[in-house]
Every structure is written in structure tokens, then in C-alpha cells.
Structure 1
Amino acid sequence: MTHTFALRVYYEDTDLAGIVYYANYLKFIERGRSEWVRSLGMDQARLKADTGIVFAVRRVEADYLRPARYDDELVVETRAVSISAARIVLDQAVMRGGERLFQAQVVLVCIGEGGQPARIPAMLRQKLSPALH
């Protein structure tokens, strides 16, 4: 299952050359991940309040393929690749029309309040599991 999240490039997203500044793609895919989690019926603030756990980005492997420009309409695609006891691996892409501009594999880990590794609660793994199919 691929989740999609639409956004538009604003002037503030661009650099002196008029293209999207490279670090902003990370912001775009963060928004896509947040909306993906929300679409699965999970409330991250509630999860933290109830269990003390949060998700943190452990690793990002990114490829910048083509530039996006001011006023482009983009779509962030998010797809779960694997879910284990304490981590989630996602493939994410930023698209313009059918053209892939940016792609990344993101590894998220579950951590406790002190920053220590934590297991993803079973009920949460159940909510995430359908996203793999």
C-alpha cells in the first residue's frame, strides 16, 4: 500500500538558483510520514503520553534525481517495506506528475523517554501490518 500526500513548492522552499533546497526534501518526506501514520489511525502525541515511546529517524539514504521548482505541485509517496520488533523501514519518493524527483529509504526506530531502544507495542504493530500488503 502506498500512501500519498500532496504539497506545493513555495518560495521559501527554494534556494538562490530557484530550485527546492536539498534539505527541504527531508521536510517534505517527514510530512508524508506524519500523514501516513495519521491515515493508519495512530496519534503520535497520544502514543507518547500513554506509553512514553516515540519514533526517531535512525537512517536516511537519499537520492536527488531531478530538481523541483517554485509552484510545482508535488506528491510524497510513502510505502512500508518492513516492520520488526523495534523498527520500521519505509521507501519514500517525491513525485511531480509521473516523474520521480527524489527517493529515500528511511529507517525509524522506537525509543523510550530516555532515548533507549524500545519495542513497538503489539497493538501498534497490528495497525502497521496492513500497510505492508
Structure 2
Amino acid sequence: MQAVFENTVRFEETDAQGVVFYGNYVTFQDEAFTAYLEAIGYPYETLRAAEWDVHVVHVDLDYRKPAEFRDRLHNAIRVDAIRESSIEFDYECRDDDGDLVADGGLVHVAVDESGEPTRVPDEFREAAVAFQETPPDPV
């Protein structure tokens, strides 16, 4: 999986134990999602201009190794499957040594301007397939 978002752990992202507070990994996932859109040539502004959006409906994370203040993290995300109206992502976060810090997934549902589920546009599907070494599962 290709890293699309890198960040350095800020002091405010750590907890009393001196490690990244677990909830911050959801933010890292979200930043990776936004960076993924850019990387595939389908930035969020393009998504909105095409009159659709996404809502997160599921987040899954497993914590493998603590990250601490000033650690550099490499966040990778890829589309695992594109269904009719949902997009399933795999996510992983690694440190500078390449060790797995956290992994999991998330699911977005495509919605139209009224917030109702809609088909994931073909342009997005094509961009994801073209970008990834391993293409997503088809509908």
C-alpha cells in the first residue's frame, strides 16, 4: 500500500501515557482519505463539483505499536472495494522504521446533494482503478 499522507506526531496528539491518543488515528485516516483523492487526480473539490459527497458509516482500527511525540507517521489508504453506493478502504499507519503502528479500514457511502445514497460515479471508480497497483473489487 502506498503512503499518501505523512505527519509528525504533535504533542497535543498524545495522552497522559505519552503516546498518540487512539482517537487521533481516525483523524489520520481522514487526512489519508483526502490525500488519496488528490493522489488519484479526483480531489474533494472535483467530488463536490460532480454533485456528490461521502459520509463515513464505519471505522475500524487495530493498534499495533504506540507512536510518540515527534514520531513521523506514514499513512496509506487504498480502495478495497467499490459497491453500488459504498467505498471500502483499507488503511495502515507505519513509522519511519516501517513498523505497523495501526491498521484497519473505513467505509464511505456516496450521497447526492440531498444526502440520499447514490451510485459511486464511474469517473471515481476509474481513477481508483488506474491509481492502485491492486485494483479494488468490482461491484
TM-score exceeds 0.5: yes
Residue 88 (structure 1) shift: 1.2
Q: Secondary structure at the match of 1:28?
A: helix
Deviates more, 1:37-46 or 1:8-17: 37-46
Query: What are the ranges of 5 or more consecutive residues in structure 1 without an aligned counterpart?
Result: none
Paired AA for residue 6 in structure 1? E
TM-score by length of 2: 0.86
Identity across the alignment (%): 27
Deviates more, 1:2-11 or 1:109-118: 2-11
Paired AA for residue 104 in structure 2? A
CA distance in 2, matches of 1:109, 1:2: 23
| CA-based RMSD | 1.5
Residues 63-89 of structure 1: CA deviation (Å, up to 9, x unaligned): 112211001011001122111221111
Give the 5 Å matches for 1:1-133: 2-48=2-48, 50-96=49-95, 97-130=97-130, 131=132, 132-133=134-135
Paired AA for residue 117 in structure 2? P
CA distance in 1, matches of 2:6, 2:74: 4
Paired AA for residue 112 in structure 1? D
Contact 1:3 1:79 (8 Å CA) reproduced: no
Paired AA for residue 41 in structure 1? G
Residue 46 (structure 1) shift: 3.3
Residues 39-60 of structure 1: CA deviation (Å, up to 9, x unaligned): 1111212321x33210111111
Q: Secondary structure at the match of 1:25?
A: helix
Paired AA for residue 62 in structure 1? L
Query: What are the ranges of 5 or more consecutive residues in structure 2 without an aligned counterpart?
Result: none
* Runs of 4 or more above 4 Å deviation: none
Q: Secondary structure at the match of 2:123?
A: helix
Q: Secondary structure at the match of 1:71?
A: coil
TM-score by length of 1: 0.90
